[in-house]
Amino acid sequence: MRQTSQISKLTSVSASLAAGLLLAMTSFSGLVSAADPAPAAAPMAETAAKPVVPGKPKVDPAVSEALYSNGDASRGVTACLTCHGPKGQSATATWPKLSAQHAAYTAKQLKNFKDGTRANPVMMGMAATLTEQDMNNISAYLARQPVSQGVAQNKDTIELGQSIYRGGIAAKGVPACAACHSPTGAGIPSQYPRVGGQWAEYNAAQLLAFREGTRKNSSQMTTIATKLSDQEMKAVADYMAGLH
């Protein structure tokens, strides 16, 4: 009888221990489950911390070409082709060649004309009716067109123009134009415009406008232009016309 009683006590103790162990495991499992969502929050926080990189503006090639070539009479948008020529190949230096120009640069100029940052009576009127999407469409269309070709005309200043474009003028603190606009005049997308093949008269007029303060939408170019003489401007502008 005594042995049976001891066995009964041991069985009871074992059952209690088992129940306690089961309860402890259940509690631990609950703690782990409650902690599980925490690691998942880390990637979300990391994603939120990363800066959002804007993509290229969405454009419709067919709409872009139609807007450039025909405008939109219903909204008072004039065809760009009227002045800047088919595919951005203008026929006269009065209007700049726009073919193959970097889209971001062209869009910026249109925005500057619209907000008055860049003053030009004709272009300010043209840009006034354009939406931001219109500007992106026109700029994208022009960027896809063939590069404009040109030639330097003045043999007497070709060496001076080349020297300024490729080496700057150290004595005046003028940097080489090629440093930003590239050796071939192709520029750097989104930063510096294409200048190779552009009308010499147009480039010279823009340098003068920067120097005189009538064009103010590039502090960098204003600083450089104020150090150039009329002869130097004309020489480097003529040299750039022949770059390709």
Share of the chain above pLDDT 90, in %: 74
Burial class (CB within 10 angstroms; exposed 0-12, middle 13-18, buried 19+) of 78: middle
Q: Tell which of 143, 172, 202 closes a domain.
A: 143
Are 147 and 197 within 8 A, CB to CB?
A: yes
Does 45 reside within a domain? no
Tell me what pLDDT residue 76 has: 97
83 and 114 housed in the same domain: yes
Task: Give yes or no for residue 51 having a pLDDT over 60.
Answer: no
Does 94 reside within a domain? yes
- Number of domains, the chain: 2
222 and 178 housed in the same domain: yes
Does 190 reside within a domain? yes
The pTM of this model reads 0.77
Does 86 reside within a domain? yes
162 and 126 housed in the same domain: no
Tell me what pLDDT residue 10 has: 37
Tell me what pLDDT residue 54 has: 55
197 and 139 housed in the same domain: no
Does 46 reside within a domain? no
Which residues on adjacent β-strands are paired with residue 169?
174
Does 26 reside within a domain? no
Which residues on adjacent β-strands are paired with residue 188?
192
Does 27 reside within a domain? no
Tell me what pLDDT residue 31 has: 36
166 and 237 housed in the same domain: yes
105 and 166 housed in the same domain: no
Tell me what pLDDT residue 5 has: 46
Containing structural domain, residue 115: 61-143
197 and 230 housed in the same domain: yes
Does 49 reside within a domain? no
127 and 169 housed in the same domain: no
Q: Give the CATH number, domain containing residue 122.
A: 1.10.760.10
Report, as an integer, the average pLDDT of 9-34.
40
Any residues with CB less than 8 A from the CB of 116 and at least 6 apart, and which? 124
138 and 65 housed in the same domain: yes
Q: List, for residues 188-217, the tens digit of each pLDDT value.
A: 998 899 999 999 999 999 999 999 999 999
